[in-house]
């Protein structure tokens, strides 16, 4: 079964296809209309706006914190009861050096505030921080997807691999449409539809 969505799509392959296409179009709009320049950099409030913009056509929860605990592989993302506190801490993390920025990115990934679409929205969020603070961004075409995923899986324990990988892909081409769009490929997962295991908690909303 597909995740509940505004389009009433029930087939998960179809949802994956439609969602990827629509969110890519939205990501392009964010870039073309220069909306990213108006979004607060390095805070959850800014990330909410990015997520909301990308997924508002598809999911009711666009821009809203998840209400279920989720895990991928062996890793459990931040439990819902600690999520708000974790996000406040992340807002206050420094972001003036490359290492600090990646450490902040890793923490935001551990928080995984949304039910779906964390990867794409948080990569845009990361690029916004790098752009503002270092006048550089990641050239995602230089980041091998499997290496990226392995490094992200490892990152909650040790962040050296993701730091090395992303540092080698830094570019000064901060306003290049293609460089930007490469990070929005919804295929930063091994294969098939990238699903979470869910632990239902009190469903309040």
Enumerate binding residues for ligand ATP (CB under 6 A). 72-73, 75, 109, 116-120, 152-153, 186, 188-189, 194
Contact 137, 180 (CB under 8 A): yes
Size of the site for Mg ion (CB under 5 A): 1
194 touches Mg ion by CB under 5 A: yes
64 touches Mg ion by CB under 5 A: no
User: Binding partner of residue 113 among ligand ATP, Mg ion, none, CB under 5 to 8 Å per kind?
Assistant: none
User: Binding partner of residue 109 among Mg ion, ligand ATP, none, CB under 5 to 8 Å per kind?
Assistant: ligand ATP
67 touches Mg ion by CB under 5 A: no
| Beta-carbon-side half-sphere exposure of residue 131 (alpha carbons within 13 Å) | 19
User: Binding partner of residue 192 among ligand ATP, Mg ion, none, CB under 5 to 8 Å per kind?
Assistant: none
Least separation in angstroms between residue 3's CB and Mg ion is: 9
> Considering only 14-22, 38-46, 145-153, 194-202, which stretch makes contact with Mg ion by CB under 5 A?
194-202
Determine how β-strand 69-72 pairs with β-strand 197-199.
Answer: antiparallel
Contact 85, 65 (CB under 8 A): no
22 touches Mg ion by CB under 5 A: no
Least separation in angstroms between residue 17's CB and ligand ATP is: 13
User: Binding partner of residue 55 among Mg ion, ligand ATP, none, CB under 5 to 8 Å per kind?
Assistant: none
Contact 26, 53 (CB under 8 A): yes
Buried b (16+ CB within 10 A) or exposed e, 46-74: bbbbbbbbbbebbbebbbebbeebbebee
Q: Which residue number is nearest to ligand ATP in terms of Cβ?
A: 119
Contacts with Mg ion, residue ranges (CB under 5 A): 194
């Amino acid at each position: 079964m597909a995740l509940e969505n505004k389009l009433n799509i029930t087939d998960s392959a179809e949802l994956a296809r439609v969602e990827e296409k629509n969110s890519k179009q939205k990501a392009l709009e964010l870039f073309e209309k220069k909306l990213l320049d108006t979004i607060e950099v390095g805070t959850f409030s800014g990330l909410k706006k990015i997520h909301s913009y990308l997924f508002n056509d598809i999911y009711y929860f666009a821009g809203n914190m998840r209400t279920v605990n989720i895990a991928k592989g062996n890793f459990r993302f931040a439990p819902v009861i600690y999520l708000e506190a974790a996000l406040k801490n992340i807002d206050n993390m420094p972001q003036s050096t490359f290492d600090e920025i990646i450490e902040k990115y890793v923490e935001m990934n551990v928080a995984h505030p949304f039910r779906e679409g964390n990867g794409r929205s948080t990569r845009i969020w990361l690029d916004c921080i790098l752009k503002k603070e270092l006048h550089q961004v990641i050239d995602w075409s230089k980041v091998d997807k499997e290496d990226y995923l392995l490094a992200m899986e490892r990152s909650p324990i040790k962040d050296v691999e993701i730091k090395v990988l992303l540092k080698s892909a830094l570019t000064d081409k901060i306003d290049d449409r293609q460089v930007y769009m490469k990070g929005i490929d919804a295929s930063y997962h091994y294969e098939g539809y990238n699903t979470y295991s869910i632990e239902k908690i009190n469903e309040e909303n």
